[in-house]
Structures are given as structure tokens and as C-alpha cells.
Amino acid sequence: MMKDENIEILFKNLKGQFDTEEPMEGHRDRFLDKLGTAQGTISINRKKPTTWWKPLSIAASIVLLCALAIGLPALNPSTEQQLANISPEVSETQLYFTSLIEQQVSELQAVSTPQTEQLITETLAQLEKLDQNYMKLEQDLLNGGDPNLILSAMINNFQTRISLLKDVQFQIESIQNYNNYDDENITI
């Protein structure tokens, strides 16, 4: 019992002098490193912090983003790609008619004069409406409408545009011929 009394006296004398603060983070690891170095041993249980995971996670993120960037367009094919899947002939026909219409529009704009400018502007507005109708037909086809009926309407739309352009070209030629005839009949 005497030992217990001595210990109690010792603790009473040291009261308030004890370090009660928490050790800093990593204290245990530093202590074990020092202990292992002093004894010449290596700790098997202690794991060293791995720093290789940060560059690896960045590289994995970049690879993932690249894969998504490449894969997303394939998930949402364009209208033309979807139409080509439904009917390859549609995309070929569309390409043919579109190039023919663009060529005729270019010819109209090349012969534009002050007398024909309003006619050409109105024609281009009509072509824009027909183009919007064509896009609606494309969507109807993609949404599962009757392919035969819709394809027929699409071709009819192109034929209407070409017919409109031919009529306008004829009217422009008539205006030009009339102007040339008037110029010939004017006497000075």
C-alpha cells in the first residue's frame, strides 16, 4: 500500500502539469518511423500514403471525357443519318434534289435586277416555307409515320420547289425580253 500512497502523492504534486493536448496528426506514424529506425526494423503493418492515385485518377477522367465526347454523337445521329437508315434512297434523292435546287437559286440570284428583285425575294420566301414543310415530313417519317405516304410527300415537295423555280425563271426571262423589246423600240 505504500507504493499506492507514493504514487498518489506524486500525482497530487504534479497536478496541472500534465500535457492533455491531442498530438498532431500523423504523430503515431512519425513515432513508429523513429522507433523502427532506432531499432533497425521495418514495420509491415503500416501503410505508406500512396500518391500515385491522383495522377491515375486525372488520367482516367480525361480518358472518360474523351470517350464520352466521341460516343455522344453516335448516340444522337443526325436526321440525315436516321433517314439513311430508314431508306438509303431517300438520302441520295435528297442530295440530288437539293443540289439541283441550290443551282437554280444561284442562277436566279445571278440574273437579279431591280425589276426582278421582289419576285426573287418572294420566291426565296416560298422556298423557305417548302423547306420547313419538308423538315416536318422528315420528322414525321422518323417518328414512325407511313413511310410510303411520307416519302411520296417528300418527293412532291422537291418537285414543287423545282417547278416554282422554273416558273420564276420563265417570268424573269419574260421580263428581260420585254425590257429588251422596249429598248429596241425607243427611238432617239
- Is 123 in contact with 164 (CB distance < 8 Å)? yes
Question: What is the model's pLDDT at position 11?
Answer: 77
**72 vs 70: CA distance, rounded Å:** 6
Strands of 61-178 (E only): list them: none
Same domain, 177 and 97: yes
Same domain, 116 and 176: yes
Same domain, 159 and 177: yes
Question: What is the model's pLDDT at position 145?
Answer: 78
Q: Look over the chain and give the mean of its residue pLDDT values, rounded to a whole number.
A: 78
Residues 6+ apart with CB under 8 A from 129: none
**39 vs 33: CA distance, rounded Å:** 10
Same domain, 96 and 60: no
Evaluate whether residue 17 is within a structural domain. no
**22 vs 35: CA distance, rounded Å:** 20
Evaluate whether residue 34 is within a structural domain. no
Backbone dihedral region for residue 40 (phi beyond 0: left; psi -120 to 50: alpha; all else: beta)? left
| Better-scored residue on pLDDT, 84 or 101 | 101
Q: Is the pLDDT confidence value at 110 over 60?
A: yes
Same domain, 68 and 109: no
Evaluate whether residue 15 is within a structural domain. no
Q: What is the average per-residue pLDDT within 79-107? A: 77
Domain encompassing residue 59: 52-77
Same domain, 71 and 124: no
Cβ atoms within 10 Å of 150's Cβ, excluding its own: 20
Question: What is the model's pLDDT at position 120?
Answer: 86
pTM (2 decimals)? 0.53
State the amino acid at position 112 in one-letter form. S
Span 15-70, pLDDT tens digits: 777 777 777 788 888 888 787 776 666 555 555 556 767 777 777 788 778 777 77
- Is 124 in contact with 106 (CB distance < 8 Å)? no
Span 139-163, pLDDT tens digits: 888 888 787 888 888 889 989 999 9
